[in-house]
């Protein structure tokens, strides 16, 4: 089986649209790059959103690997300023509570998990390990689909995945969830 490292993007700027990384985020990405190089990743695939691309480029600069983008790794919802923040947050909460709820802009939790899972199934043909730079919401969606709501740590469902946390999968089997040990 292919080993997958699902890397939460580094800390992003707090603004609508497609923000880049903060200075702290760039340092987190650099530390994550060192870890990724040590575990012998063979491929880097990332979400097309800027915060994920910048994290992936940092890792690629350390490893010498090429970055491939895959839209299936994008976040469930991305606030672009087209709706009021209160409405966006209400839709986000609704997608967490009801995994079939389709928000005004974005995907249901189930749909987001399925597109992520389909990406992983396709990538099992890659010689591993593979680093996938993605987002917290869609990573939690995938975990909820693979192991069930009761097995996913409540703090991840309620508060999200920490910046640059790494979730390890062996194929579609969970090995470790949201580790930040490499950042310490």
pLDDT in tens, 63-122: 999 999 999 999 999 888 888 999 999 999 999 999 999 999 999 999 999 999 999 999
What is the mean predicted confidence (pLDDT) over 3-25?
A: 95
Please tell me the predicted confidence (pLDDT) of residue 43. 96
User: From the CA atom positions of the chain, what is the Rg in Å?
Assistant: 15
Do 9 and 132 contact (CB within 8 A), yes or no?
A: no
- Cα separation, 137 vs 156, in Å, equals 9
CATH number of the domain located at residue range(s) 3-76+109-183 in this protein:
3.40.50.1240
How much of the chain, in percent, has pLDDT values that exceed 90? 90
What is the mean predicted confidence (pLDDT) over 29-45?
A: 96
Provide the whole-model pTM. Answer: 0.96
- Cα separation, 157 vs 140, in Å, equals 7
State whether the Cα torsion 46-9-54-83 is positive or negative: positive
């Amino acid at each position: 089986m292919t080993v997958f490292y699902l890397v939460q993007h580094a800390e992003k700027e707090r603004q609508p649209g497609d923000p880049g990384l903060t200075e702290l985020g760039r340092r987190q990405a650099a530390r994550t790059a060192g870890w990724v190089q040590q575990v012998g990743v063979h491929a880097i695939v990332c979400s097309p959103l800027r915060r994920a691309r910048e994290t992936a480029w940092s890792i690629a600069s350390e490893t010498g690997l090429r970055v491939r983008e895959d839209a299936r790794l994008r976040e469930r919802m991305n606030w672009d300023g087209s709706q009021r923040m209160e409405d966006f947050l209400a839709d986000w909460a609704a997608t967490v509570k009801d995994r079939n709820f389709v928000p005004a802009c974005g995907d249901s939790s189930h749909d987001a998990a399925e597109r992520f899972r389909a990406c992983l199934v396709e990538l099992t043909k890659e010689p591993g390990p593979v680093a996938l730079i993605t987002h917290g919401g869609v990573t939690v969606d995938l975990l909820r689909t693979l192991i069930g709501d009761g097995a996913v740590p409540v703090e991840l469902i309620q508060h999200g995945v920490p910046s640059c946390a790494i979730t390890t999968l062996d194929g579609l089997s969970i090995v470790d969830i949201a580790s930040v040990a490499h950042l310490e």
